[in-house]
Chains A and B, each alone.
Chain A
Amino acid sequence: MWDPRAEEMPATELKRLQYRLLKTLVYRLYSFSDFYHARMREANVHPDDIRTLADITRLPFMYKRDLRDNYPDHLFTATQDELVRYHVSSGTTGKPTVVGYTANDLENWTASLARSLTACGLGRGDVMQVSYGYGLFTGGLGMHYGAERIGATVLPSSTGNTERQIELMQDLHVTAIACTPSYLVHIGETAEKMGVSIRDDTDLRIGVLGAEPWSEAMRTKLQDALGIRVYDIYGTSELSGPMFTECTEQNGIHLWGDLAYPEIIDPETGESLPAGEKGELVMTVLKKEALPMIRYRVGDVTVLNDEPCACGRTSPRIMRIQGRVDDMLIVRGINVFPSQVEHALMEIPEVVGSAFQIEVDRKGALDSMLVRVEMSPEAFSDKITDLMQIRGKVAHTLKSSLNVAAQVELMAPGALPRFEGKAQRVIDRRVY
């Protein structure tokens, strides 16, 4: 472990620490953030009302739109001369948001990743290729400093020029890669075209994958195809960036309790849900200075697991992200997550489960859903009836997994766009 005292802290001690940190944070925001002061007044809650950790539920939420409405820096509680860096979110869902970092913020971010990467089995002697975008996006620089901190050698290859990435992976004996799951699929496909076997011709052994939703089935597929172990990483720019990963148990993402306090709520009512129930993740970042986040509605759907982990770490875990509250499609009254579609498609060998697109439209009063999916080249038959059968099988599998019927369109391999950033798989054409 990187920081055993923090990572193995007994639950009661951790709760005491979290309470102290929360109380300090609330006082700080009440005193120095006009925005959060006003929001607490509206909610009729004063810092003195926070007497236990459980009282956190009395505090008002923060939303993505609060960051946008206060663009660029009106939520900061540090002055510009105290800041050492900015990151800016991609703005795919609206106006961009800006996150500022003090030196301590960067230190906590890096320390969090150092613990996480160590938990994935990485350390001194590893060569990590960071194939997340460097720049305004937090992925590249975040992973870069985290990997340097644990003594790994960093290859800051960023995104793009995949053939060159594969050459460098071979030449510099890269042992680990950090990128999006869809980009690793793309690397695997490109390597194959180049006649390079990731399993036999490279030293790659670990992938740390995130920045977009993926599935257990995709993990199995990647691990089997490339002969490596792949781990899920979690974070968003509002929380600093990529922050938390799974340990080698591959059973949930450890959220370091001295840095963050997670809750799961019902996205409709805002009520807290007990561990084990699926809901929206709400995060309080306990030590952030420049842009403190209290009860931030992250919008990711997951399950909290507070059982002790076999690895000995005591912090709570979140299970794999199942979708976004705002990605959730309601088709004929039924909640559909793109991740469910992916999971269902992964079960069908005749198609490439990671390459799909969902198009939702409305004809008259009825929603219609179309799923485009690429065929596996091996499954291609010259007979129309065989192809119709594959299409029928996909439609049937989707129907039984989503509880709503979908039309299916078969595509040639490689016909659908691959994304090096966040995969955008949904086209919603409905007009209300």
Chain B
Amino acid sequence: MAEKKYLIKQISIFSENKPGRLAAIAKALQEAGVNILAFSIAEANGFGVVRALVNKPDLAHTTLTDIGFMVSFTDVIAVAMRDEPGGLFEIARILGEAGINIEYSYAYSGKDGAVLILRVDQVEEGVEKILAAGGTLLDVSLFQ
């Protein structure tokens, strides 16, 4: 299926809400030579989930599991945004028109433009709808 090439493997890491957990994750990834492209922290009372796009997701998974972290993979998609005023609005309008329900999202602005990372419910259907509404999706090979 053509949409497959837009599915990016995000790693999600369970973390207790206490100082030093993020440092432990980042240090382990550094030592394994894994580059973090984007990340976010979702927090609830008492715990959090660290979500990250990395260049080597399988290596990151093994590395973190070995030191006791609970890790899972989730498919996300990356939408290209213009890095100027109105960039987010343009994408948000496309998503709205496409009827996409966002579970969570985070963004980063890199040297090749801004990118919005999305976790949507029906990911393959979401890809089709975004493309049909005129959105630009980034190919997984750009990341991993």
- Give the interface of A toward B (CB within 8 A): 375, 377, 380-384, 387-388, 391, 409-415
Contact = CB atoms under 8 A, between A and B. Distances in A.
A387 B72 CA distance: 13
Given A375-B14, A412-B14, A415-B16, A383 B103 contact: yes
B72 A382 contact: yes
B70 A388 contact: no
B68 A387 contact: no
B114 interface: no
> Counting chain A CB atoms within 10 Å of each CB, which of B42, B70, B119 scores highest?
B70
B123 interface: no
A410 B68 contact: no
Given A377-B70, A412-B69, A412-B70, A384 B16 contact: no
Contacts, number: 45
Contacts of B12: 380, 382
21 contacts: A375-B70, A377-B70, A380-B14, A381-B72, A382-B10, A382-B12, A382-B51, A384-B49, A387-B14, A387-B49, A391-B46, A409-B46, A410-B14, A412-B14, A412-B15, A412-B16, A412-B68, A412-B70, A413-B68, A414-B68, A415-B16
Nearest to A193: B66
B46 A382 contact: no
Contacts of B16: 409-412, 415
A387 B47 contact: yes
Interface string B44-71: 1011010100000000000000001111
Given A381-B72, A383-B103, A384-B49, 5 more contacts: A375-B14, A382-B49, A382-B51, A413-B68, A413-B70
Nearest to B43: A384
- The size bracket of the interface on B is 10 to 19
A138 B69 CA distance: 37
Nearest to B71: A380
B30 interface: no
A387 B71 CA distance: 14
A150 to B, nearest CB: 41
B68 A415 contact: yes
Nearest to A383: B103
A75 B100 CA distance: 79
A410 B47 CA distance: 7
Contacts of A380: 12, 14, 70-72
A298 B105 CA distance: 58
Nearest to A388: B44
A384 B42 contact: yes
B74 interface: yes
A410 B46 contact: yes
Contacts of A411: 16
Interface string B103-138: 100000000000000010000000000000000000
B22 to A, nearest CB: 14
B47 A382 contact: no
Contacts of A391: 46
A415 B20 CA distance: 14
Contacts of B44: 384, 387-388
